[in-house]
């Protein structure tokens, strides 16, 4: 009888340990920290303008059209992370109650500001004039912009692109031996921690290397499409695979849209 009791206790212990391992192995599907943190902010470009013309992330003219238009921002190296911070979304809110509204503005990281206010390890946002002005109470946008540098608080927020699926732009200069991709309209984390591609004739996922900004590439070949693309986010390690999203007859400077996204 005593032996059976000990055996039962051992089974319960083993099952509990197994469940702990299984739960611990599940990926986190939320952004890592919901709390607000202190930073500073400035603005650039036209007072009511979109703020950016291209940017270090490599999004090019995409920053000048909706849904990115007037929501873009440059960040200091602390948040830019050598380009791995590209595509991340933040809520930014100013603090002076005499001129700042209670609402936060949502910005998408498309550029880096490496010097000036952004140097010395500071956490800094350089926003479009339009985004900066939206932090003010109604009628005081110009007054807020006239202050130059201001104190703000910020936090990560999920990116949302309603009606958009993840797209992959084949960068200019790509060949059968050097393929370079950029991710667009990624819901959720917005950032990219790793990318892999797979040829239709193969079961092997080939790792791409981070080059600069939001650009990833692979040097190998000859590469034969169509290609499936697997991306893993930097913040929470979520993974998404788009099967045969880049066709056999792909061409440089073309953008190919998948049928899925993290929020669909």
**Tens of pLDDT along 165-186?**
999 999 999 999 999 999 998 9
Return the pLDDT at 5. Answer: 44
Task: Convert the pLDDT of each residue in 196-247 to its tens digit.
Answer: 999 998 999 999 999 988 899 999 989 999 999 999 999 999 999 999 999 9
Distance CA 101, CA 115 (A): 29
Return the pLDDT at 263. Answer: 76
Contact 231, 183 (CB under 8 A): yes
Number of neighbouring beta carbons within 10 Å of residue 225: 18
Considering the chain, what is the average pLDDT of its residues? 84
Task: Convert the pLDDT of each residue in 49-99 to its tens digit.
Answer: 666 667 888 887 665 566 665 578 899 999 999 999 999 999 999 999 999
Task: Convert the pLDDT of each residue in 115-139 to its tens digit.
Answer: 889 999 999 999 988 899 999 999 9
Question: What is the value of pTM for the model shown?
Answer: 0.82
The highest-level CATH class for domain 167-257 is mainly beta
The highest-level CATH class for domain 37-156 is mainly beta
CB burial readout 177-194, b (16+ within 10 A) else e: eebbbbbbbbbbbbbbbb
Distance CA 118, CA 256 (A): 35
Number of neighbouring beta carbons within 10 Å of residue 223: 19
Contact 237, 188 (CB under 8 A): no
Distance CA 255, CA 181 (A): 9
Name the more confident of 17 and 141. Answer: 141
Q: Beta strands 72-75 and 37-44: pairing type?
A: unpaired
Distance CA 144, CA 125 (A): 15
Q: Give the position of tokens 């667009």.
A: 184
Distance CA 243, CA 229 (A): 7
Domain boundaries, the chain: 37-156, 167-257
The β-bridge partners of 38 are 153
Q: Beta strands 239-246 and 209-212: pairing type?
A: unpaired
Q: Which of 42, 48, 47, 97 is nearest to 73 (CA)?
A: 42
Contacts of 205 by beta carbon, 8 Å cutoff, 6+ apart: 196, 197, 198, 230
């Amino acid at each position: 009888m005593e032996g059976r009791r000990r055996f039962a206790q051992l089974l319960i212990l083993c099952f509990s340990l197994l469940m702990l391992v299984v739960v611990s192995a599940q990926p986190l599907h939320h952004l890592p920290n919901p709390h607000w943190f202190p930073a500073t902010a400035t603005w650039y470009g036209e007072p009511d303008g979109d703020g950016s013309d291209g940017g270090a992330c490599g999004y090019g003219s995409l920053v000048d059209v909706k849904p990115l238009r007037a929501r873009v921002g440059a960040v200091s190296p602390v948040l830019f992370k050598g380009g791995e911070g590209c595509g991340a979304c933040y809520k930014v809110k100013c603090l002076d109650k005499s001129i700042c509204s209670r609402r936060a503005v949502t910005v998408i990281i498309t550029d880096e500001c490496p010097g000036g206010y952004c140097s010395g390890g500071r956490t800094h946002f350089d926003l479009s004039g339009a985004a900066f002005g939206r932090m003010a109470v109604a009628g005081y946008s110009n007054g807020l912009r006239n202050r130059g540098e201001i104190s703000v608080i910020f936090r990560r927020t999920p990116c949302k692109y309603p009606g958009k699926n993840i797209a992959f732009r084949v960068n200019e200069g790509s060949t059968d031996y050097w393929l370079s991709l950029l991710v667009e309209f990624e819901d959720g984390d917005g950032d990219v921690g790793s990318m892999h591609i797979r040829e239709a004739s193969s079961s092997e996922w080939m790792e791409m290397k981070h080059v600069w900004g939001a650009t990833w590439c692979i040097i190998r070949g000859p590469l034969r499409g169509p290609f499936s693309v697997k991306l893993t986010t930097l913040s929470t390690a979520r993974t998404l695979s788009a099967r045969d999203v880049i066709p056999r007859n792909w061409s440089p400077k073309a953008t190919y849209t998948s049928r899925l996204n993290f929020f669909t």
